[in-house]
Structure 1
Amino acid sequence: MSSGSSDTVAPSPAAGILKVMRLVLPWIGSALLLYWVGRHVDLVQVRQVFRQIPLSTFALLWFPPEALIFVLNVLSFKLLLDWFIKPISFRELWGPVAATYLLGMINPLLGLGGVLVYLNRKKGTAAIDLGGAMLFLAAVDMFFFLILIAIGLFYLDELPQGEVPAAAVRFLSVSTLLGIGFYAYFYLFWIRKFDFGVLGFQRQVKAFAPFTVARLWHYGLYLLVRTVFFLNFFVRQYLVMRYCFQVDFPFGRYFGLVPLANALGALPVSVAGYGSTQVVWLEFFREYVNEPLLVALTLTLNSAYTMNALIIGLIGLAKIAWDVHQAHKGAAI
């Protein structure tokens, strides 16, 4: 007769293989993509570009803004938790968020997942509530990128230097139209509370709770925080491109295509964007900037993002270790 407690189910071999593949495949992807880049680009010229980078200028433009970007990132999570789940102090939150930057070195989505796992396990926050908060974040971020893409499309031909891939223009145009339709529905249904006769049940889905609870000022304030976050991010990259690599993209070219190129380069097919970023940028901008310069630029950006994540992640781990030490010390008294 079986005992009252249920037997533990051992993980299947297939699940273990899948887990290993998820860890290994990005490394293989980076290796193959970088090999392809090395076969099609003169690496001697790439090395010459590296030698000409003004390191002091690069460090001055790159690293100081990272502090503001990090603070705004933590503030974004804090606002979501304060509004829709339960309040948490900035001091308590910044350490775990910083530590997850180490996961973000592999892929940004892993970093976001690390924050969710911490809040779920350490704070007891329900996964469905966290998922709803992340949906709210994604909706606001999509709105910002919609504005950015629309601005880029408007100015795309102001300075028609180089060829803009027709597929990219079509993608941006369709994305803008779909985005306008989505946010028209979003405003009428979620903010103005029009049910359209058939869709009211969506407000009963727990994952959509933040959209029901949020007021217009929530959207406005959060959009402001994320706008400052992303503009600081993109302006810093633009200044590095211009003053360290003498790459002067036209206004529309940069704000219309570079965010898209960054997003495609960050897809989870490589580690930290190495390989995928180079391939995407070569396809998007080879008519405008010579290939060795593009490869050197993107490798430098990849390395800078990785260094940021490493430094911030180690500081976050130290903060968590210190908090644990203080908690044990207090319990021993």
Structure 2
Amino acid sequence: MTETNSRADNLKALKQWTIRVLTAGVSVVILWYYLRDVNWDALKAAAGRADLSIAIAGIIIPMIGFWVSDCAFTVRSFKWFHSPVGFWNYFIIKAAGYLLAMVNITFATGGVFLYFMSKTGIGVKKQTGQLAFRLCMSVFGFTTFLALLTLAEVAARPEEVAALRLQLIGPAIGLILLIMLEMGAFFIYRRGLILKRLPEQWFVGEFWQPLRGSNLRHWAEGFAWTAPFIVLYFIGMYLVVRAFHVQVPFFYFLLRMPIAALIAGLPVAFGGFGTTTAAWDVFFGRFTTPADIAAITLFIPAVRLLFRLGLGAAFMPLALRELEGLKMIPWRRRGRIEKEC
């Protein structure tokens, strides 16, 4: 049995290392493609004339804001749908997770699940349901931001409406908002046009408990914990652009940055290196030179990586102390496996 477990652990470790090597390889290939013809003297000049203090603030302040808001919203959701969790306790676990993710992303994501299971006794399905609720609020906030931004652009600069390609953006934004409104009507008021017609047993179980137990106040507070920090992130990215003296129209940037951010965050490259360059070159390359794009898109993931490493290293001792204070995982302590797992 021990030999079998050891072999499984070795295969798992090999898989993780293979994924890391592949993602690093993808980053190298993309960067080579976009940087092979870049004038390196021009790249150094772009970095040299940039206001790095503003650029760093534009990256780090939204990261801190998201860190705090995510911790606060997670703690609130546990209070609403399960049992209270200390904000500071999760705050340091979340910070240490940034460092752990550099070693093994499975440890970082699965570790948070195990932490809450040990801390509160919550099962996998119910915890996944809470995660789904928080994700829905993030999507709602993100889409509402895009909708309001699009309306503002149409009102402020009607001559640029054709460039927005609203025939593509508009229906997508509208569909997501309609889905969220349908979900709100069903889970809050037990009404709706489509979900109410589905069999009731489809929504029975611990996974659905957070959504079914939510009310209008939960949705409003969830929106308040997510939407402002989404706006802060995109404004921060615009400050980075201006810090590098690249002149991209404000509305044009904010309407395309969400798509660029999604591409940059694809888990196919290491730390966003390469994917960030590709996304920014596609959406903003016509406003500046390849050297400026290279300088910005190497700077952003580098600052994020260093900040996360520093944050994780600083909080790791406190996180280890928090974990040492926990008892065994509940189902092992009781000597049985939870059915929901």
Which of 38, 43, 47 pairs up with 2:35?
38
**Of 176, 179, 182, which aligns to 2:176?**
179
Question: Displacement of 1:236 after TM fit?
Answer: 2.2
* 8 Å CA contact 2:142, 2:227 repeated in 1: no
Please report how far the alpha carbon of residue 251 of structure 1 lies from its aligned counterpart in structure 2 after TM superposition: 3.2
Give deviations 1:189-211, integer Å, cap 9, x for gaps. Answer: 22221253324223203212111
- Residues 62-92 of structure 1: CA deviation (Å, up to 9, x unaligned): 5456544432221122112221222111121
Write the mapping of 1:231-270 to structure 2, written as runs, cut at 5 A.
Answer: 231-242=231-242, 244-270=243-269
Counterpart residue number, 2:207: 207
Residue matched to 1:52: 49
Matches of 2:134 and 2:324, distance apart in 1: 33
Q: Greater share of helix residues, 1 or 2? A: 2
Judged with a 3 Å threshold, the aligned counterparts in structure 2 of structure 1 residues 156 and 102 are, in CA distance, closer, same or farther, namely farther
Matched residues in 2 for 1:238 and 1:109: separation?
Answer: 32
* Residues in 2 aligned to 1:228 and 1:118: alpha-carbon distance in whole angstroms: 28
Cα offset for 1:237? 2.3
Counterpart secondary structure, 1:87: coil
Residue 84 of structure 2 is aligned to residue 90 of structure 1: no
> How big is the shift at 1:20?
3.7
| Alignment gaps of 5+ in structure 1 | 328-333
Relative to the length of structure 1, the TM-score reads 0.82
Q: 1:71 aligns with which of 68, 93, 96?
A: 68
Q: Give 3-state SS (helix, strand or coil) of 1:11's partner.
A: helix
Q: What are the residue-to-residue correspondences of 1:33-182 with 2, within 5 Å?
A: 33-63=30-60, 66-103=63-100, 112-121=109-118, 123-155=120-152, 158=157, 172-182=169-179
Change (3 A) 1:30 1:249: same
Question: Do the aligned residues in 2 keep the contact of 1:75 with 1:90 (CA within 8 Å)?
Answer: yes
Q: What is residue 193 of structure 1 aligned with on the other side?
A: 190
- Equivalent residue for 1:11, pick from 8, 11, 22: 8
Say which SS state the counterpart of residue 41 (structure 1) adopts: coil
CA 1:113 to 1:45, structure 2 compared with 1: closer, same or farther past 3 Å? Answer: farther
Please state how far the C-alpha of 1:128 moved relative to its aligned partner.
Answer: 1.1
Q: TM-score, normalized by length of structure 2?
A: 0.81
Task: Give the superposition deviation at 1:256.
Answer: 1.5
TM-aligned CA distance change 1:8 to 1:85, over 3 Å: farther
Which residue is 1:284 aligned to? 283
Count of paired positions: 320
Aligned match of 2:318 = 319
Write the distance in 2 (CA, Å) between the matches of 1:54 and 1:251. 19
Query: For residues 41 and 94 of structure 1, what CA distance do their matches in structure 2 show?
Result: 41
Letter in 2 for 1:245: F
- Structure 2 match to 1:331: none
Say if 1:16 and 1:74 are closer, same or farther in 2 by CA, change over 3 A.
Answer: closer
Structure 2 residue identity aligned to 1:257: R
Counterpart Cα distance in 2 of 1:238 and 1:61: 8
Within 2, Cα distance between the matches of 1:147 and 1:279? 26
